[in-house]
Amino acid sequence: MTYFQFDKLMQGNPVDISHQVTLENWRKYPFTKWSFVNVRNVIPTADVQTCKNQTPNFDKKIQNLLELQINHNGQTKDLSEVLKLCDTDAFLVMSKGKLIFEYFDQFTKNDTPHIVFSISKSITSLLLGVLSREINLDLNTKISKIIPETKGSAYENATVRNVLDMNVSSGFIEDYTGEAEIFKKYRSCTGWDLVDGSIKDLPQGMYDFLSNLPSSEISHGTKYHYSSPHSDLLGWVIERLTNDKYYNVLSKLLFIPSQLQFSSNVTLDRLGASRSAGGISISPYDLLTLAELTRCEGSDNNGNIIPVSWIQDFVNPRDNSCYLAQDNLERFPKGNYRSKWYQTGFGENQFCAIGIHGQNIWINPKKELTIIRMSSASDPINIKTEELMFSVFEEIGNYL
């Protein structure tokens, strides 16, 4: 693209139309540079309260990794070049419990809430793990028993476990090009897109959409089928089980006990339903705190927060036949997906969480390594860029 003056985004009174961020363009580059750290100015949100503790959650022993050589597909680049090439907004490396490297661009700082898209799914899973222990939830419970409104939908006979593992039999199409009619309906009812007047029978909100999600012909639990609505449904499940709002439960059971410090929020549809599948904005330092807590099997200096068994269940290798049965296997061909976290299949039990536009949590438990990345990349999904970043994560692990 031609030269773009990022420092003029949303500047001026009025803002020049060429640098105005709107609901129509907020997920389009270069507007993503500003919008991904200012979601609250574009979409309705709710605060997720944190403890506002001023004591740092981790020690620092900073070193310069910018010149670290990254080898990928026969080419070598230094880390600094790769981070810029991949439109990285924040990149943090923690080794053996100490922050050893941090990188920020002009719009993102250590305390800036940045949307993490589908890493929200992985965070929601951690929350359900905490809640499951509190109420002794049976993960084989049918969704329609918890939410009767889902009777007649794809979720009627699906279990909580099916929803966690993305093997619900549904007719949803996760189409980031925006061409599929069902995906247009979904995005419109979440409040993330302008309402398309050509869409027939537009749902009133997310819960209306979820209550009428069509099923497919296969059986639940037989095939991995990535569908974001399942994780929004999980937020609704949490609300029904607690009789409280998702963002309140997220705060009380996970963010405050984990000693998160900075502002956080989650997007809402026009009727106030939380976008637990992709709407969380969280600061780099707080995301690193949650990621490191996960590496440490849910425990910090204050004791256990997330059940050890919950984390061990999605970290340790298990039967991956359902994952391998997906229609288009590109990401982690030897991996798996469990409770909204990926097992990479790369060895050393490396596991991760991924969000569109370049959001990553990467954990190598054997090397005591935790990495988080936030980005404003132009493509929702770019497998080549993903594979480059996977090489970055592994090179850092090898260097340390």
pLDDT at 351: 98
The β-bridge relationship of strands 369-375 and 359-364 is: antiparallel
pLDDT at 323: 97
pLDDT at 141: 98
* Per-residue pLDDT reduced to its tens digit, 297-337: 999 988 999 999 999 999 998 899 999 999 999 999 999 99
pLDDT at 1: 54
Domain borders along the chain are 6-133+246-399
- The torsion region of residue 355 among left (phi > 0), alpha (psi -120 to 50) and beta comes to beta
- Residue whose structure tokens are 């929601």: 124
pLDDT at 357: 97
Handedness of CA 70, 76, 77, 83 (dihedral sign): negative
- What is the CATH architecture assignment of 6-133+246-399? 3-Layer(aba) Sandwich (3.40)
pLDDT at 3: 80
List, for the chain, all residue ranges whose pLDDT scores fall below the cut of 70.
1-2
Report how far Cα 359 is from the mean position of its chain's Cα atoms: 7
The torsion angles phi and psi of 71, rounded to 5 degrees, stand at: -100, 125
pLDDT at 363: 98
